[in-house]
Structure formats: C-alpha cells, structure tokens
Amino acid sequence: MSLCRADKFLLASAAVTAGSAAVFGPGALSVGVPFGVHALLMADGIFRPDSAILYPTLVRGRTDQPQVALTFDDGPDPEITPAVLDMLAQHDARATFFVIGRNLEKHRALGEHIHREGHELGNHSWQHSYLLNFSSAAGHGVEMDRCSQLIKSVTQSDREPLYRPPVGLKSPAMARAAHQRNLNVVAWSIHSRDTFARDPRAVANGVVRRIRPGDIVLMHDGHDRDNQHRPLILEALPLLLQGLRERGLKSVTVSELSSETQSAKPAPNGATLAADDARS
C-alpha cells in the first residue's frame, strides 16, 4: 500500500531532524530548529482548511469559465434547506450540500429532493464530532463510510462522494483514512462567515465583493447540534445569488467546477452533471 502524503511528510521531517543531528551533533539548535519547523508545518496542515500539507485538498476550481461553487454544510435541515432549494431553483443555480450523515438519515426524503434538483451531496462525516480529529484512521473511516454509504443509497450511485472534514480540520489519521478510500477532500476559498454574523446583507456583500471565477464558497443550511438552526442564510442567499447574477457568475456543483472538461451529460432527473469526476 502506498504511503499517504501525511506519512511522507512525517518521514521527511524525521529524516531532516536525524540528518541535522548527525551532521551538527545532538544539540538544541540542530534538533530544535528542524523540530520547530516540523511543528509549524504540522499545525498548518491540521488547522488551516485549505492546507495541502497532509492531504491533497481542493480549494478552488477552474477559472476559465464564469462559474463558482456554492456549498452548504451541516444539513439537511427541514426548516432551512427547502427554502434554500427554492432560492437556488429561482436563480437556475446548482450547489453542493455537504451533509452530516445522522441529519441525512433523519431527513432522507429531503436528501432525495436535493439530488432530484440536480445538486450534489457531499460527505461531511456521520456525527460531525469536534473530537473526530483525535480519532484513529479506523475511527475516521467509520465516519466516512457510514455517511458515504447513505449518500450512495440516496443518489443510487456508486460514485464516492466528495469529503469535507468537520470544521475543515485534517490530521495524519484522517489523511490515512481518506487515502485508503481515494477520497477527494474539499475545503473552500471563501468563508461566508454566516455562522458568526448577524447581518445577512453583510454576509452576502462580503462574498460578492471577493468572489472570482473558480471560487468555492462555504455556507451553512444546517447545524451540527440537534434542534438548532441557522436561519440567517435565508436572508443572505437571495442577495448573494442576485449579486452573482449581476457579476455574470453562475453557481455549479463542486464536481462541475473542478472537472477537467466542461462537456456535460444529462442526468436522469434532467439536470446536467460534469462528465468527469472531480479529482483533488
């Protein structure tokens, strides 16, 4: 089995530290400097969502077309998601919904509705646990597989869904699990800050002001906590979609945005899906 990027990084760091100690002696500088650099790079790989140090991570898509990808995390939520779908339909926009498995299990019909509308269902783990990054590769694998199997059942497809780790955190264990499954990991180039803001107009304007072709935008139609909701998106999304239209930008799925070809084929439900799978 080939090594994942995280293990290659760990081996390279160990080799550099050992080599420095061998050449300069086991002193504080010869060992401490390489170890310090390793620690900084490791922290970057874990905590910066768009870092590719530990695993190849898709942050932006193709820039040669006036297209962007709107993504929604933590759903589906029966109080929020249906209205989001209506707004997207009104603007002829497609999006990618990174669903929490346990939410999809409770609201499977809503997941089927998302798929019928031509949107993409992505894997956002089963529990969305903030402690998942402390888990083993096997633990990550259970979370990935359980959500993936449910998405495949909903979409009636064998295609492996795109994966977005909870909070965008990565770890060597996550990298090993993703590598074993050949997952495409997706982050974002623009965070809408819709989970922190209180002004929907500021959220929409903040995205529209920064957005460029190829950008992947993070938003939320659901919540990782039971019986809680994120309604701000219902006011921000119409403004954002209108802003995209005024700038001549169209929202497509992440797989469409990252596809190597713009040729498309009709899906059974009448939507268009990219001919090739997205590869990170």
Q: What is the pLDDT of residue 29?
A: 66
Indicate if the pLDDT at residue 261 is higher than 50: no
38 is catalytic: no
Q: Give the Cα separation of 209 and 203 in Å (integer).
A: 10
Averaged pLDDT for residues 117-126: 98
Q: What are residue 186's DSSP bridge partners?
A: 58
Q: Which amino acid is at 22?
A: A
Q: What is the pLDDT of residue 18?
A: 76
Q: Exposed, middle or buried by CB within 10 Å (0-12, 13-18, 19+), for 25?
A: exposed
Q: What is the pLDDT of residue 1?
A: 67
What is the percentage of the chain residues whose pLDDT exceeds 70? 89
Averaged pLDDT for residues 118-145: 97
Q: Give the Cα separation of 262 and 64 in Å (integer).
A: 10
Contact yes or no for 184/162 (Cβ under 8 A): yes
* For helices 108-116 and 137-155, angle between their N-to-C axes, nearest 10 degrees: 60
Q: What is the pLDDT of residue 277?
A: 35
pLDDT digits (tens, 9 = 90+) for 88-117: 999 999 999 999 999 999 999 999 999 999
- Maximum separation of any 2 CA atoms in the chain, in Å: 67
Q: Cα–Cα distances in Å, from 3 out to 11, 29, 172, 178, 224?
A: 10, 30, 11, 12, 32
For the chain, the C-alpha Rg in angstroms (whole number) is 20
Q: Classify residue 271 by its DSSP letter.
A: -
pTM over 0.85: yes
pLDDT digits (tens, 9 = 90+) for 9-68: 999 988 987 777 677 767 666 667 777 999 999 999 999 999 999 999 999 999 999 999
Half-sphere exposure in the Cβ direction for 211 (13 Å, CA)? 31
Q: What is the pLDDT of residue 31?
A: 60
Q: What is the pLDDT of residue 17?
A: 72
Q: Exposed, middle or buried by CB within 10 Å (0-12, 13-18, 19+), for 140?
A: buried
Which entry of 73, 77, 215, 224 is annotated as an active-site residue? 73
179 is catalytic: no
Which entry of 140, 220, 221, 223 is annotated as an active-site residue? 220
Q: Give the Cα separation of 247 and 39 in Å (integer).
A: 42
Q: What is the pLDDT of residue 278?
A: 34
Q: Percent helix, strand and coil across the chain, each rounded to 5? A: 45, 15, 40
Averaged pLDDT for residues 158-187: 98
